Amino acid sequence: MTRADGENSLALHLPRWLRFSTLPLSPAQSSPAEPNSELSHSFKTSALQPIDWRSFSEGTIMVMNPLRAARLLKEDLHTACHRDPAATSALEVALTYPGVHALWAHRLSHALWVRKVKLPARILSSISRSFTGVDIHPAAVIGRRVFIDHATGVVIGATTEVGEDVVIFHGVTLGGVSMTPGKRHPTIGSHVMIGAGAKVLGPITVGDGVKIGANAVVVKDVPCGSVAIGVPAKLLPKPCQDTKDDDLIIDPVYFLDEPELYI
C-alpha cells in the first residue's frame, strides 16, 4: 500500500466535509495567491462571503448555521495548509497540527460562550489546552483565516480581539496588565504577524499590517503598518497600505540590522 492509499483509507473515517483533504499539496500550492490548484478550488467553491470580523463579538458563525460552521473550519484548515510550507497534505494538517485543533476547539467553545453556556465552554477550553498547549479563553474573539504556527505556549485572554489573516507563532501571549473588570486585553487588527515569544499586553490596539518581532514586549498602541521590536517594543514605522498575504513574511534583508525581529 502506498502512502497515498493509506491516507485515502484513513480519510474514509473523517467527516464528509474533510474528505477532500487527502489531496496533496505541491510547492506551487503553498501560496494563497495561486488559486488554480485543486485544493484551492475545493475551498473556493464553498468559500464564505466576506464578514466583518468584529461582528463575531455579537456571536459567531458557529451559532449562525452548522453548514457555515463547517465551512469556517474548512477555511481554517485551508489557511494552515497555505501558511506552512512544511505541510504535505490537508489531511496531515487536520490530524497533527495543534494550532488548528486549538482554533477549532475555540470556535466551538466561543459558540457555547456567546449562547451563555459558559461552564461547558470553559471545560472544552481546558481540555483543548491540555492537548494542544494553547490557552484561549472562550470569550476571546478570533476572526477568519488565523494561523497559530507551532502553537505551544500561546495564551489569548478573555477580552482579546483578533482580526483576519493573522499569523501567531509559538510562545505568544495576548494578555492583560490589570485585574480590573472590562476590556483588559489587546485588540489585534488584520494582516498582523506576531513573532515567537512576543508579549502584547493590556487594552491596546495593534493596527492592520503590523509585524511584531520575536520576544518583543508591546504595551502601547502600534500604528497601522508598523514594525515593533525589542523590550519594551520600539517602532519602525512603515506607510499604511493595503497588506497582501505575502506581506506577512518579513524581508530579512530590509531588517538585517534588527535580528530580534526574526522568527
CATH number at residue 110: 1.10.3130
Residue 104 within any structural domain of the chain: yes
Give me the pLDDT at residue 24, please: 41
Does 56 reside within a domain?
yes
Looking at the structure, tell me whether residues 125 and 172 fall in a common domain: no
Inter-helix orientation angle 118-132/98-114, to 10°: 170
Same domain? For 19 and 129 the reply is yes
What is the average per-residue pLDDT within 172-190?
Answer: 91
Same domain for 224 and 179:
yes
> What is the mean predicted confidence (pLDDT) over 60-80?
74
Q: Answer whether residue 12 shows pLDDT above 60.
A: no
Mean pLDDT of the chain: 75
End-of-domain residue from the set 118, 133, 148: 133
Please give the residue range of the domain that contains residue 230.
157-263
Are residues 206 and 241 located together in one domain of the fold? yes
Does residue 103 carry a pLDDT above 90?
Answer: yes
In a domain, 148, yes or no: no
Provide mean pLDDT across the span 90-97: 91
CA dihedral 245, 102, 15, 58 (to 10 degrees): -80
Report residue 11: phi and psi, to 5°.
Answer: -65, -25
- Report yes or no on 59 lying in a domain: yes
User: Do residues 212 and 260 share a domain?
Assistant: yes
What confidence tier does 184 reach under pLDDT thresholds 50, 70, 90? Answer: very high
Is residue 61 pLDDT above 80, yes or no? Answer: no
Most confident by average pLDDT, 20-24, 27-31, 45-49, 109-113: 109-113
- Alpha-helical (H) ranges within the chain are 3-11, 38-44, 61-64, 66-83, 90-96, 98-114, 118-132
| 250 and 203, same domain (yes or no) | yes
Q: What is the pTM of this model?
A: 0.70
Mean pLDDT in residue range 128-154: 93
pLDDT, position 262: 47
Asked if residue 139 is part of any domain, the answer here is no
Q: How many domains does the chain have?
A: 2
Confidence of residue 47 (pLDDT cuts 50, 70, 90): very low
Split at pLDDT 50, 70, 90, the class of 40 is very low
117 and 163 belong to one structural domain:
no
The confidence score (pLDDT) of residue 156 equals 96
Residue 73 pLDDT class (50, 70, 90 cuts): confident
| CATH number of the domain bearing residue 185 | 2.160.10.10
* Residue 170 and residue 119 share a domain: no
Q: Which residues of 193-231 are buried (b: 16+ CB within 10 A; e: fewer)?
A: bbbbbbbbbbbbebbbbbbbbbbbbbeeebbbbbbbbbe
- My answer on whether 234 and 193 are in the same domain is yes
What pLDDT is recorded for position 238?
Answer: 59
Task: Verify that 125 and 191 share a domain, yes or no.
Answer: no
| 117 within some domain | yes
Q: Say which residues have a Cβ less than 8 Å from residue 7's Cβ, sequence separation at least 6.
A: 22, 89, 91
Residues 79 and 183 in one domain: no
Q: What is the pLDDT of residues 206-259, one digit of tens each?
A: 999 999 999 999 999 999 888 999 888 888 855 555 555 555 554 444 444 444
Q: Which of 245, 217, 257 is CA-nearest to residue 79?
A: 245
Note whether residue 102 is domain-resident: yes
Do 211 and 261 lie in a common domain?
yes
As a whole number, mean pLDDT of residues 154-178 equals 93
* 152: in domain: no
